[in-house]
Structure 1
């Protein structure tokens, strides 16, 4: 049982978390998938960029009349928590329903561990089967329904950056790299604590600290590094003011950004802009 499950006794929590308002805007890979032409393309994009979101993989299998998606842990021998599986399935069902404005139901759901209540089954509209995999299937007909959220221009905007981040992750598959990738997504949304990152990576604060220590680094060092890279990007490539940059980097006060920037570059932010 995960820490979230232990704290909450609400059987609908995975559904509420996965289908909350505007969840598609929380992450570039997810938003890019929401902009897809249909459910089939959405699943394809989610499968490709899943490891930018968390340490798990989505493997899609095209069959005669349906498409099945297998969810597996990113670490060999590690079983996905039941709460996480429910959340992932609920998210996929929810985003397809929201994007098509249709009450699409999976044709099959197989889970290694079935939920205790009927809340998830009622939400999915499909009987749950216990098995040795975590898999969800949809009919090809349903997945070919057009997305009302289809936006080719936004996909053209996101694709190069997502591919760049994916290639960087392939080159550097360390925990540190995953932490930096998570922070790059979390900071602009007002999050960025070690607890936030641990949750996003599907682990605990203590485990994350231990793995970073094994790599000879700390969470604070990775946070500072990520903020430095993002700050330089914003200053060099955008016209954003200092207040906006501070907010996007998770600083409560502008002065905190100014002090950090001087340490990173040896110059004040104003001096840096003039010399750049």
Structure 2
């Protein structure tokens, strides 16, 4: 019988992820393909959004982009292979805290506790089962599917953190993955160094409990406290500091071109009444109409300014318009809104 899980961290319903997590993926696509900017644009993202490592991006777009990247590069195990090059610095202070932990168990407990400083809509935890220690990871939003690349990347990166911070030849007892087995599993077995079970209820790393509890270093308590305080500030800001307009902007990024953007739909997503949503946006000096227009203008400027731009009908669809005519009307309207140039 499993011991009750502890240190479980469940993310807010609004699914988002730090831009810094996307940078290594973009670098990989740059190396293997000249289609990076088009791929980003097709998922409603701009390269400029990655310049701020603390910027928040829609997680649904990240997951879908990762799947497309594997197809474009012709590498089905792209995520797992990328995970083998993961370093503590890639997740900032959380990675540093992982590397300073006295035991492997402590490292995974801290990773679970603070993962919401990196991404949302995620459930992560550490528990004991049948004498083994298990670390679990799962995106709680079932609409984000397929997500093989994210799952394999996360588990491979976590294994690599153990190898780089604790013991180079470390191997888990078993790996669990929620997706079905690919045709060829040999590359994954080499990367993880253990047997893999597919089609599971979640993604898990099963490890030897005694090994995970072995004290391998003395912690620098002062440095650990500083890092935990810094990460806690990030978590508190992420959970409580976001303005409603920021949350609406994130939802627009997720749903634009995929489902209607209405006050009623977004209010339901944010678990508030339509009237409350409109009032909160008004208090912040904006409206859904303004936020939607700003988002579309940014994307349209990028799409139309690219020499390799998609057909105008495709751009209209990506911006959530019914047809080309509506897009052209909006472009003319935006042009009229521009303030006159002084000179």
TM range (shorter): 0.5 to 0.7
3-state SS in 2 of match to 1:20: coil
1:139 is matched with which residue?
Answer: 208
2:79 is aligned with 1:24:
no
Partner deviation per Cα, 1:166-187 (whole Å, 9 max, x = no partner): 223332577976899xxxxxxx
3-state SS in 1 of match to 2:133: strand
The answer as to whether partners of 2:70 and 2:77 remain within 8 angstroms in 1 is no
Larger Rg: 2
The answer as to whether partners of 2:163 and 2:170 remain within 8 angstroms in 1 is yes
Q: CA deviation at 1:90?
A: 0.4
Q: CA deviation at 1:149?
A: 9.3
Measure, in 2, the Cα distance between the counterparts of 1:173 and 1:115.
Answer: 40
Please point out which of 113, 119, 130 is paired with 1:48.
113
1:81 is matched with which residue?
Answer: 147
Measure, in 2, the Cα distance between the counterparts of 1:30 and 1:179.
Answer: 30
The answer as to whether partners of 2:82 and 2:153 remain within 8 angstroms in 1 is yes
2:188 is aligned with 1:120:
yes
Unpaired segments of 5 or more residues in structure 1? Answer: 181-197, 222-276
The answer as to whether partners of 1:18 and 1:88 remain within 8 angstroms in 2 is yes
Aligned ranges 1:203-218 → 2 under 5 Å: 207=254, 216=288, 217=291
Measure, in 2, the Cα distance between the counterparts of 1:179 and 1:15.
Answer: 33
Measure, in 2, the Cα distance between the counterparts of 1:61 and 1:109.
Answer: 15
Measure, in 2, the Cα distance between the counterparts of 1:45 and 1:149.
Answer: 16
Q: CA deviation at 1:121?
A: 1.1
Partner deviation per Cα, 1:182-240 (whole Å, 9 max, x = no partner): xxxxxxxxxxxxxxxx9xxxx9x9527679x858447x89xxxxxxxxxxxxxxxxxxx
2:208 is aligned with 1:161:
no
Q: Output the aligned Cα RMSD.
A: 3.6
The answer as to whether partners of 1:39 and 1:96 remain within 8 angstroms in 2 is yes
Q: CA deviation at 1:48?
A: 0.6
Measure, in 2, the Cα distance between the counterparts of 1:106 and 1:51.
Answer: 24
Measure, in 2, the Cα distance between the counterparts of 1:141 and 1:178.
Answer: 43
2:58 is matched with which residue?
Answer: none
Aligned ranges 1:108-257 → 2 under 5 Å: 108-113=174-179, 114-117=181-184, 118-130=186-198, 131-147=200-216, 151-172=220-241, 207=254, 216=288, 217=291
Measure, in 2, the Cα distance between the counterparts of 1:4 and 1:149.
Answer: 41
Unpaired segments of 5 or more residues in structure 2? Answer: 1-63, 267-280, 282-287, 296-343
Provide TM-score, normalisation by structure 2.
0.49
Measure, in 2, the Cα distance between the counterparts of 1:105 and 1:64.
Answer: 18
Q: CA deviation at 1:43?
A: 0.4
Please point out which of 58, 79, 82 is paired with 1:14.
79
The answer as to whether partners of 1:106 and 1:137 remain within 8 angstroms in 2 is yes
3-state SS in 1 of match to 2:194: coil
Measure, in 2, the Cα distance between the counterparts of 1:92 and 1:178.
Answer: 29
Measure, in 2, the Cα distance between the counterparts of 1:95 and 1:141.
Answer: 18
- Quick one: structure 1 residues 33 and 10, their matched pair in 2 at CA, closer, same or farther if it must change by over 3 Å? same
Q: CA deviation at 1:78?
A: 4.1
Partner deviation per Cα, 1:36-67 (whole Å, 9 max, x = no partner): 11110010011011121122221221235211
